[in-house]
Amino acid sequence: MKVSLFITCLADSMFPEVGESVVRILHRLGCKIDFPEAQTCCGQPAYNSGYLRETRDVALTLLDAFEESEYVVTPSGSCAGMIRHAYPDLFAHDPVLSSRVVRLAEKTFEFSQFLVDVLGVTDLGAELHARVTYHPSCHAMRLTGVQEQPEILLKHVKGLVYTELPNKMECCGFGGTFSVKMGDISAAMVTDKVNQVVQTQADILTGTDMGCLMNIQGRLRREGHAIEVMHLAQLLAKGMKL
């Protein structure tokens, strides 16, 4: 199967190891991988702030970059959600772009969703002896349809003790520019989230979105907790010794 990677600007510039794990796993599963270098960002920062014209301009880079792709896979539920949920609306006024956008939306998947729903893989043969908890990101859950896929993958990792995060459905307070613009409210939200993560006594916190994980990790560090934070792809790759 041919898979094009959409690495997202955040993972590209701050967490390249996440992209690398995605590549190694997909490669192990026999996918033929390409990385269209013409990609930059899905446009979310501008979109969430209401700068729609700027969003469209940036979104066009993605549209061009993935024109020929068969599948687009991204390690971010929120960027996948942007493409699947917001793009159709953003380009609704333009019939040509609009049909290109719908095609892109239909072939774009969040990483765990792609593994479970498209490839039909649930057991990667990974083994990791650790206590793990998982934060389901809002956009992954509510805009992209990432529901039980990450937990299915985790529960198949040998030796892994899965502990459910209390109140897991509640937002961590990231929200892109929200975390800077409404810093106090966001801080209160992430503080609650960190308390819950700590309660699970997990060694590792995982998720499918580096935005949220970066937010929670930033607070965990500020409070001095030693809990490791890693993207689901990193965790699985580690368990697969890739």
Partner 1 sequence: MSAERSTIKERAKEALKDDYLRGAVKSTTDRLRTNKLASQEALGNWEWWRERGRQIRAHVVANLDYYLSQLAENVRQNGGHIYFCETGHEAVKQVIEIAKRVKARSVVKSKSMVSEELHLNHALEQEGIEAVETDLGEYIIQLAKEGPSHIIAPSIHKNRHQVAELFAETDGKEFIPSDTQTLTAFARAKLREKFMTGEIGVTGCNFAIAETGSVCLFTNEGNGRMVTSLPKVHIAIMGMERILPTVEDLEVMMNLLPRAGTGQKLTSYVSIITGPRKSGEVDGPEEFHLLVVDNGRSEILEDEDFRQVLHCIRCGACLNVCPVYRQIGGHAYGWVYPGPIGAVITPLLNERNDQYQDLPYASSLCAACYEACPVKIPLHDLLVKLRARNVEKGRTSRWEKLSFRMYRHAFRSPKRYRVAIRLASRLQKPFLRHGFIQAQLPILNGWTGARDLRGFSGESFRDRWKTLQNVLEKDKG
Q: Specify whether the CB–CB gap between 156 and 232 falls below 8 A.
A: no
Separation CA 8–CA 232 (nearest Å): 15
Closest separation between CB of residue 126 and partner 1, Å?
Answer: 18
Q: Does 147 bind partner 1 (CB under 8 A)?
A: no
Of 1, 16, 123, 199, which one interacts with partner 1 (CB under 8 A)? 16
First to last CA, the chain: 20
Query: What is the x/- site pattern for partner 1, positions 19-58, by CB under 8 A?
Result: xx--x---x-----x-x-xxxxx-x-xxxxxxxxxx--xx
**Taken in order 110, 10, 136, 145, is the CA torsion positive or negative?**
negative
Taking each helix axis from N to C terminus, what angle separates 16-28 and 232-239, rounded to the nearest 10 degrees?
50
Q: Does 99 bind partner 1 (CB under 8 A)?
A: no
Of 1, 13, 164, 199, which one interacts with partner 1 (CB under 8 A)? 13
Separation CA 195–CA 221 (nearest Å): 13
Question: Which tokens go with 12?
Answer: 């590209």
Stretch that binds partner 1, among 106-114, 145-153, 176-184, 195-203 (CB under 8 A): 176-184
Which positions lie near partner 1, rule CB under 8 A? Answer: 7, 9, 11-16, 19-20, 23, 27, 33, 35, 37-41, 43, 45-54, 57-58, 60-61, 65, 86, 89, 138-139, 142-143, 169-171, 173-176, 178-192, 214-215, 217-219, 221-222
